[in-house]
Structure 1
């Protein structure tokens, strides 16, 4: 599932290619992809037609497009799920096999004329959500200065790269939980944007076990974790995100390549690179975790 870097790559593409453009028509090809729009596909199409996209905003893994032209302030939320893609295409380009929603944009001399939502597994979707004020009165996320957030995302904590969040905020949120550290940082109500891959990478970089109890975690440990999360996400973003197959791409259809830089995730049975540098021999281990996998070094990520 796309995590913060992957969604931010898509947001930046949308900001460049579709912000400021008017939706001339909207076509829902598969009603399942707008199932969270409770007024139905026809209302979805009619409401969006004629609106102008004013912004492209992200908070954690949540992505939305600001809309001008509505009587009641609302935004278009795009949830990528496990396989959702937002692609900018020329109208004459062949339809993708799993095309679900087509949004035709006002003509622009240099930019493609369609925004397409493609979703193979249909876990994602698009819907219109009303806006509410952010709980702390600060800007909602990356791409906006407004303190207005989709009602559907109001419960989401500030994300790893949010300048209005600090290591102390993370420490306080963790100490309020009584669970394992990895479970906590995957909780989007604690800190948003972190998924399984980057959780393993940050925990490895911070030399912390994901099994550490949040009720006993110390401030220096949280500072290391916070620094690691920011560093991992920043490097992944610079690499365009992580792609293991063709399901994650940016708006131009290009895959990210951060998978080449992973130190823990997916490296079961391979040498821990940090231990090897220090003259030790240790192999990355894989353990079952919440129906998925966790990858750790048993030597430099001790279970306190």
Structure 2
């Protein structure tokens, strides 16, 4: 499943291509991808058609496009077009004449626009989803609980979709509070990795980047959260930020063709992973320090954790 860096790569791509453009038409190829839009397909088409995209915002793994309807009443609530990528969802920018993808679900026809070099921009925004776990829907925006911007985007509007209001901020969000996270982390009384995966505590960190951040911070995944000191919390947050920033620079992490950016290109951060997926292979840090240690993989929450048993020693009071 795409994690924060992958969704942020998509957000940045959409920001470049769709902000300021109007949705001139909607083609619903598979209504199942609109099942989260409670008022049905016709209402979805009516809400989106004629709306202008004014911003693209991300909160954790949630992604939405802010819509402006020129015909709406002044007191009408602001709307957003949310896109949930699920396991295999893709948002692709294509020329209208380009062949349709095999798993195309929804196609939005955008108004014509030109790039900085004067060339015509592609006019199709396509939602493709092989496994149909993702989807699109229109929803209202409401004030954020903390009065800060809804998420990472181009505006400072303190608005967020109701469906994302419970999601905590992520380390890449300028409004993220290290002190607030530290206090909530210590009160959680659980294992550190379990806490990192809790989207209500800190968002956007999935299994891959949790393993990578823990390796970078030299912390074991079962470290009890109540034993975390401020320097420890800062270390894991800094590690997660650095790991995800590097992943962003590489276009995200792709292990198959299901995750691509808006241009259909895969990410290459998998080449730089230090722990995840490297079970039985040497720990590069240990090798650099003259030791021979193999990355170990253990079962964790119906998945697994990969770590270095020397760099990340298991605490005696470990929590699951």
Same fold, TM-score > 0.5, yes or no: yes
Encode CA deviations 1:109-145: one digit per residue, 9 max, x unaligned: 4210110000001111111111111111011111131
Is residue 2:294 matched to residue 1:297?
Answer: no
How many Å separate the matches in 2 of 1:155 and 1:57? Answer: 16
Per the alignment, residue 200 of structure 1 pairs with 211
Runs of 4+ residues deviating >3 angstroms: none
Per the alignment, residue 88 of structure 2 pairs with 83
Equivalent pairs counted in the alignment come to 304
Encode CA deviations 1:152-187: one digit per residue, 9 max, x unaligned: 100011111011223322211211212111011111
Instruction: Give how far 1:216 is off.
Output: 2.0
Instruction: Give how far 1:297 is off.
Output: 0.6
Select 2:200's aligned residue among 183, 189, 197.
189
How many Å separate the matches in 1 of 2:280 and 2:178? Answer: 33
SS across alignment from 1:176: helix
Per the alignment, residue 17 of structure 1 pairs with 17
How many Å separate the matches in 2 of 1:256 and 1:292? Answer: 23
Is residue 2:131 matched to residue 1:121?
Answer: yes
How many Å separate the matches in 1 of 2:34 and 2:103? Answer: 14
Structure 1's unaligned 5+ residue stretches are none
Per the alignment, residue 26 of structure 2 pairs with 26
SS across alignment from 1:58: strand
* Greater CA drift, 213-222 or 73-82: 213-222
Select 1:176's aligned residue among 179, 183, 187.
187
Instruction: Give how far 1:72 is off.
Output: 2.7
TM-score (norm 1): 0.98
How many Å separate the matches in 1 of 2:292 and 2:250? Answer: 29
Instruction: Give how far 1:241 is off.
Output: 0.5
5 Å-filtered alignment, 1:1-304, equals 1-69=1-69, 70=72, 71-109=76-114, 110-143=120-153, 144-304=155-315
TM-score (norm 2): 0.93
Query: Does the aligned pair in 2 maintain the 1:26–1:102 contact within 8 Å?
Result: yes
SS across alignment from 1:116: strand
SS across alignment from 1:14: helix
